[in-house]
């Protein structure tokens, strides 16, 4: 099954969003010294690690929605279920759990993931599930329906 132009455009747009989230956002979040002092300049807003995690979670939710809507084999597998909403919710919870589990590893600092791993982990997981779900549903509702 060949993807339409809209599906390919959405795929590449999501790929670019992931690339921006993984490479450009940490660079933009790092403090940069100006070449010359600027007088009366407003302070630059810095992106916090929690905001970076939110951007990554929304991107993951969007990619999850696009994958099950436009990747042919995944779409046919997903369309075979009668309770697609519950299946997607399960996938969202698994994705949030994977993000939380990744934040508890030593690799989290290398990837720029700074989420609480401890007593408040349950609340972090609930927050991650809501953020992923928001990105997922936003993408599902705003993306065009694929042609059969």
Q: How confident is the model over 109-146, as pLDDT tens digits?
A: 776 666 667 777 778 788 888 888 888 888 888 888 77
User: Closest by alpha carbon to 136, among 77, 90, 72, 97?
Assistant: 90
> For residue range 36-73, what is the model confidence (pLDDT) as tens digits?
555 555 567 777 777 777 888 888 888 888 888 888 89
Is residue 40 assigned to a domain? no
Among residues 120, 143, 6, which one has the least CA distance to residue 62? 143
Average the pLDDT over 99-110 and give the result: 77
In a domain, 38, yes or no: no
**What pTM was computed for the model?**
0.60
Please check whether residue 39 lies inside any domain of the structure: no
Report the number of distinct structural domains present in the chain. Answer: 1
Is residue 135 situated within a structural domain?
Answer: yes
Q: Is residue 37 part of a domain?
A: no
Q: Is residue 86 part of a domain?
A: yes
In a domain, 148, yes or no: no
Per-residue CA distances from 87 to 80, 81, 84, 94, 138 (Å): 11, 8, 5, 11, 17
The C-alpha atoms of residue 88 and residue 134 are separated, in whole angstroms, by 12
Q: What is the residue range of 61's domain? A: 5-31+46-142
């Amino acid at each position: 099954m060949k993807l339409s132009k809209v599906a390919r455009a959405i795929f590449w747009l999501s790929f670019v969003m992931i690339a921006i989230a993984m490479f450009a956002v940490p660079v933009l979040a790092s403090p940069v010294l100006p070449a010359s002092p600027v007088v009366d300049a407003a302070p630059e807003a810095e992106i916090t690690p929690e905001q970076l995690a939110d951007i990554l979670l929304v991107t993951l939710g969007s990619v999850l929605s696009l994958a099950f809507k436009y990747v042919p084999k995944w779409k046919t597998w997903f369309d075979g279920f009668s309770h697609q909403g519950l299946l997607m919710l399960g996938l969202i919870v698994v994705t949030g759990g994977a993000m939380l589990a990744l934040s508890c590893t030593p690799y989290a600092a290398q990837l720029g993931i700074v989420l609480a791993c401890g007593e408040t982990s349950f609340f972090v997981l609930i927050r991650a599930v809501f953020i992923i779900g928001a990105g997922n549903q936003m993408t599902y509702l705003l993306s065009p329906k694929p042609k059969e």
